[in-house]
Every structure is written in structure tokens, then in C-alpha cells.
Structure 1
Amino acid sequence: MVTLTWYDDGALGAPYGSVPEQARMTLYAHGFQYHRHQSALLLPAAYGEHGRALRIQAVARRFAEQGIGVNLRHAAPTTTTVLPPSRPTAAPSHHR
């Protein structure tokens, strides 16, 4: 099984280590590129939506011939939580 993830920038990819060795050449042959700084195989967004769709279909057919399943998913949305600045609290005063 190969899980390919759609990223917010339009790229599609998978962590290199999660791609079975027998599947890597198929990905390379259909335009996926290894990005060392991300340690991932990525299909660049530059191919355009139609070009990526054709490549993904070709990859899925080839993987089916090899007995490899494909799972497509969207990257988890990134949310940023902004916390209000913390205010210093005064130490409790002890009155006698």
C-alpha cells in the first residue's frame, strides 16, 4: 500500500521511507521527484491539475498490475492557535 498525500500547495507526495522499494521506480517514471530536504517523493504542482490527474491514474494502474494499493488523502489542516499573552500574577500577600 502506498499512501499519497495532497498538500495545500498542490503537490502530491509520500515520505520516501513509507514507499515500498518496488513502487519507487513507478513514481519516478510518472514525474515524482525525490526531495532530500523533505525526505519525500513529490509530484510537483507545476504539472497542473489535469497533468497530475493523468499521472496519478497511470500510477494507480501500474500499481494495480504490481498488486500495490493506493490510498489518496489530504494533508491534515494546519491550525494555529493564538493564545493571549500571559499576565504575571502577583504573589499572594499575607496580612498579619
Structure 2
Amino acid sequence: MRASFTPGFQSYSQDQTALYPLDPTLQAQLDALKAENNDVRSYYDSISKTGFALSSDVSLYYKISPTTRIGGEASYNTFGSYDEFRSLLGVRQNFGSTGR
């Protein structure tokens, strides 16, 4: 079994940016639509966040023979602008010498 837990503190910000930064014609059309209808989005909003975050993972495998293990892994991460959960179930098979 292997496990880890890492608490931390993060601070990040993203500036407001156009939806079509490389195409001024499309961006101008979108800005014109925004002037007519406030529900139209013509820019990605700016974001600024600060707070605590954590990263943790656990791995557990059970030996069913000298060369075969079954088990799984799971991890959870809240760093960045999203939360991520990953899991894995599997069989590990060693080929060749078992060290004896």
C-alpha cells in the first residue's frame, strides 16, 4: 500500500480575453451582437482565486501469486481551476525471474 496527502495554498489569476483573439473580424461581429443583446458573451471573463487546495493518492495491490498482483489506485487533486478524481483498477503481471 502506498498513500500520500499534500495540502497547499494557491493563488492564480487569468485576464479577460477575447473569444476570437486572432480574428478581429469575427470578434467585431461578436462585439456588435453583444451591444444588441447583453446575454451574448464576447469575452472570456477574468478570474482571480486564492485558497487552500490538496492533492492525495492511494495505491493498493494484493499479491495472488509470486508474479501476479491485483488492485487499484485513486487520486484526488484540487490544485488549479478544477477538481480532478482519477481511479484505476488492474492486474500487474511480472514476467521472467522472480528473484529466487
| Alignment TM-score, normalising by the size of structure 1 | 0.20
Ranked by relative contact order (alpha carbons within 8 Å, sequence separation 6 or more), the top structure is 1
| Alignment TM-score, normalising by the size of structure 2 | 0.20
Structure with bigger helix share is: 1
Structure with bigger strand share is: 2
Larger radius of gyration: 2
